[in-house]
Structure 1
Amino acid sequence: MKDSHVADDVTRAAVELFATQGYANTSVQQIVEAAGVTKGAMYHYFESKDDLLFGIYEKLLSLQKSRLDQIIARGGAVDDVLRAVCVDVIETSIDHMPEGTVFFRSMHMLSAPRQQEVTRRRREYHDEFVQLIERGQAEGVYRTDIPVAVLVAHFFSDLHYLSHWYSPEGPEDKTLVAEQLTDLFLTSIRRPDAAA
């Protein structure tokens, strides 16, 4: 089991350095110096820089997937469930914005097996999200004139660009931004003739 203190210090330092100067430009020496640990201590918990980068993704993917599963398990009307899912994934993305920044800039630098694992994990989340939209379509709530893939891309493109324009120090808090983006998305996919 990992000593969470050392592993967390190393992860925090790596996220900050990867986000500010890039994965390729960050050395293991810089990470251990920023974390205040030795290389030996880092290598006790992480096999390589690749392992560390994967761990950053893995933690965020696991968090968002477990929260998705909890929201779906609570049940309810599809529009309420999808709303809760959208707000949650935006809020958790804002909470972990440096990790997200690293994720989208550096995923292509992971080893091939690790890239495949990240893709598989993201696909699991994506597939459950698609199922919610398809359920809403079957119930006559969401439009069917646009392919589901386009509807899903519409939502996640907003999510992926958060780090380009959103600042936690800005005037809007994360919940307000999450609710606003969710409202825009749900309004755009709702059938005009659907019962309110």
Structure 2
Amino acid sequence: MKRVERNGRTGPYGASACAGRPVPQRLLAAATRLFADQGYDRTSVQEIVEAAGVTKGALYHYFGSKDDLLHEIYARVLRQQQERLDAVAGRDAPVEQRLRDAAADVAVTTIENLDDTKIFFRSMHQLGPEQYRRVRAERRRYHERFRALIEEGQRTGVFSRATPADLVVDYHFGSLHHLGSWYRPDGPMTPREVGDHLADLLLRALRP
């Protein structure tokens, strides 16, 4: 694969591909493409800034380090999912419907951002200790909100108590983490169909 030249205008990651976007978005777009094609550890800061058409000073102003870029690639997906989960969980609707909608939605948003999530889970072990702790805390907050819906249904008798809520959460999110190994955009199912199937499996496992 041809590398970006120092003017940032040649090769598959030329700065022209990022032109017109705000600098943080240009950096994230360039880093995402490079991490996907070359791997996180084989991508240098210099390659990222050349592909984005910015200086190293701009990168360090917005992100501080390559670790911060990797973290943000995943964090922006997780923020979207957290906002959507909070909205669904807070609705005035039966808990079974809220859980089903939440379970389907997180599958859909995972598929819609599959490149970002694959890059992150493939490379998260390379994060520094502080960034790794931040990611774990952010994911834990999401899982706790999701688990609270299951526990609400178990307390009110809508869902079975036979399986601990923590294990149910692990079951659902384990399925999501494997999406990158088999889902294809040109395959037989749309993101919504996959989400509906996984949500139905979850609810069947919880029925009394």
Taking structure 2 as the reference length, the TM-score comes to: 0.85
1:91 and 1:174 in contact (8 A); partners too: yes
Partner of 2:64: 47
Correspondent of 1:96 among 113, 131, 144: 113
Partner of 2:161: 144
Question: Distance between the aligned counterparts of 2:147 and 2:170, measured in 1?
Answer: 10
Question: Distance between the aligned counterparts of 2:57 and 2:195, measured in 1?
Answer: 41
* Structure 2, unpaired ranges of 5+: 1-19
1:164 equivalenced with 2:207 (yes/no): no
The aligned amino acid for 1:65 is: Q
Equivalenced residue count is: 189
Question: Distance between the aligned counterparts of 2:37 and 2:72, measured in 1?
Answer: 18
Partner of 1:194: none
Q: Secondary structure at the match of 1:143?
A: coil
1:84 equivalenced with 2:101 (yes/no): yes
Question: Distance between the aligned counterparts of 2:108 and 2:40, measured in 1?
Answer: 25
Taking structure 1 as the reference length, the TM-score comes to: 0.89
Question: Which runs of 4 or more aligned residues in structure 1 lie more than 3 Å from their structure 2 counterparts after TM superposition?
Answer: none
Partner of 2:137: 120
Correspondent of 1:12 among 10, 21, 29: 29
**Aligned-pair CA distance for 1:4:** 5.9
**Percentage identity across aligned positions?**
46
Q: Deviations over 1:135-177 (max 9, x none)?
A: 1111212221222222111101100011110012223111111
Q: RCO (CA 8 Å, sep 6+): is it higher in 1 or 2?
A: 1
In terms of fraction of residues, the more helix-rich structure is: 1
Question: Distance between the aligned counterparts of 1:17 and 1:185, measured in 2?
Answer: 36
Q: Secondary structure at the match of 1:74?
A: coil
Correspondent of 1:60 among 66, 77, 101: 77
